[in-house]
Amino acid sequence: MSSESPSFLYSIAFFVAFAIPEALNILLPAFGDAVTQRRVKVERAYPPLLLPVIVTGVTVEKVTSSISPINRDRSELPKAITHEPPQKPQIPIHFPAIIDDLDPMAKEPVRVLVTGAAGQIGYALVPMIARGIMLGADQPVILHMLDIPPAAEALNGVKMELIDAAFPLLKGVVATTDAVEGCTGVNVAVMVGGFPRKEGMERKDVMTKNVSIYKSQATALEKHAAPNCKVLVVANPANTNALILKEFAPSIPEKNITCLTRLDHNRALGQISERLSVPVSDVKNVIIWGNHSSSQYPDVNHAKVQTSAGEKPVRELVKNDEYLNGEFITTVQQRGAAIIKARKLSSALSAASSACDHIRDWVLGTPEGTFVSMGVYSDGSYDVPAGLIYSFPVTCRNGEWSIVQGLPIDEMSRKKMDLTAEELKEEKDLAYSCLS
């Protein structure tokens, strides 16, 4: 569609500029000499007519291409480094990776790191990346999979399976237990690996273990990742792990470190679509504020549903504020626990899918008029204290996110947003105390 729109508009230009006068030229003589004068005037008007028409055509094309959901600006996709700077070790790629594809139009492969790749979220995530769900169906990828030494065999098994699946977009797989090798040259890093909470563990214990993991990964990323590497932290406590990563990798721009709250965002969309019995693609602009924990605040005050009569606010269609302020919020907050109860395992499928959505919208841009939830470094918007990784509504363009400003916040929302900010501040203090 995007390649057709310029030619369609130029064809409008042709049509207007040439066809109409030509048609007049054929028809007018039939009306006799009386209109000959007008015909001559029309012919003389050709050149001046052409220019404004072409200008209009170009303007209309720019406008329509920004509206079209298919035409996303890919110019800001991170570019893969095809050779390492001298002081970095030459990384052997364990799968024959031929960068010089036969197709001259093929893009440079992007390197994607997945930590904790031998686990179940990793197992669900890597085929999605290899199929082009995360970065687009025309973007080749090289997967870097990192995990801890006890999981080395299982990691190798995953690598074998990726090779067996003969994915055309997968140009190479690096499976390693060495953080340096894993991080070298990566353009996108999805940090799924972390220390999960076990029965009887104190919050402080989980925090200590995760803090030390993310501190060391921060150093590895900072030293070896490609410039402008985009980082997504999935492992819980996601917001605080991302904060630790940011604190110990000061040369990674803080706008490049985010945490996953898209899962909760998608869950909220799913709940609304179930409630209203509408397709989930018609629901948009829910917001998840705050911490990816049970204190998160799913906000539908700005959410809309596409109906046959245009976009309507969700509150208007659901007509049940009690539900939206009560059960809906608790369902979304506790969905993770509900899935664990039913599966006896945490939600890998939806987490992996949401991680793909998060990165894809970040890199390729959000559709016009839609915003999504991302856990990003707070700049003080909406009176959320700066210096926390807090989930905000964002739009993405040209590979950058920006917080949607100016949304009215009512009292109930204010309270909930402050509550989750409090919890994040406590987690931050706890994490820092674990480090010292």
Partner 1 sequence: MEVVGGEVDYTFVIQKSLVLLLCVVLSWKMIVYMCNLLKIEKEPIRVLVTGAAGNIGYAIAPTIARGMMLGQDQPMILHLLDIEPASKSLEAVKMELQDSAFPLLHGVFATTNIDEACKGVNIAIMIGGFARKEGMERREVMSKNAVIFKAQASALERYASDDCKVLVVANPANTNALILKEFAPSIPEENITCLTRLDHNRAQARLAEKLSVPVSSVKNVIVWGNHSSTQYPDSNHATVSTKTGDQPVNELLVADQKWLKNEFITEVQQRGAEILRARRQSSALSAASAACDHIHDWFLGTPKGNWVSMGVCSDGSYGIPPGLVYSFPVICEKGSWKIVQGLNIDEFSREKMDDSARELAEEKALAYSCLNV
What letter does residue 91 receive in the DSSP assignment? Answer: P
Does residue 123 bind partner 1 (CB under 8 A)? yes
Q: Among residue numbers 67 through 86, which ones bind partner 1 (CB under 8 A)?
A: none
> What angle in degrees, to the nearest 10, is found between the helix axes of 327-343 and 262-276?
110
Instruction: Report the candidate in 399, 361, 74 with the shortest Cα–Cα distance to residue 253.
Output: 399
Cβ partners under 8 Å of residue 136, min gap 6: 74, 360, 364
Does residue 58 bind partner 1 (CB under 8 A)? no
Task: Measure the CA–CA gap between 426 and 298, rounded to whole angstroms.
Answer: 21
Give the binding range for partner 1 (CB under 8 A) out of 91-99, 207-215, 321-329, 386-394: 91-99
What dihedral angle (degrees, nearest 10) is formed by the CA atoms of 281, 284, 289, 292? 0
How many residues form the binding site for partner 1 (CB under 8 A)?
Answer: 73
State phi, psi for 173 to the nearest 5 degrees: -130, 130
Does residue 323 bind partner 1 (CB under 8 A)? no
Contacting residue, 350, 373, 395, 420, with partner 1 by CB under 8 A: 350
For the CB of residue 321, give the shortest distance to partner 1 in the complex, in Å: 23
Please identify which of the residues 224, 265, 292, 302 carries the catalytic annotation: 292
Contacting residue, 2, 7, 59, 294, with partner 1 by CB under 8 A: 7
Q: Among residue numbers 272 through 311, which ones bind partner 1 (CB under 8 A)?
A: 273-274, 279-281
Does residue 19 bind partner 1 (CB under 8 A)? yes
CA distances from 133 to 139, 140, 271 (A): 10, 11, 23
For the CB of residue 222, give the shortest distance to partner 1 in the complex, in Å: 31
Q: CB of 254 within 8 A of CB of 284? A: no
Q: Among residue numbers 138 through 197, which ones bind partner 1 (CB under 8 A)?
A: 153-154, 156-158, 160-168, 170-171
Q: Among residue numbers 199 through 238, which ones bind partner 1 (CB under 8 A)?
A: none
Site of tokens 């030494």: 149
Looking at beta carbons only, is 234 or 269 nearer to partner 1? 269
Looking at beta carbons only, is 23 or 386 nearer to partner 1? 23
Task: Locate 374 and state its tokens.
Answer: 């991302």
* Amino acid code (one letter) for 55: V
Specify whether 94 is catalytic. Answer: no
Does residue 396 bind partner 1 (CB under 8 A)? no
Catalytic residues: 292
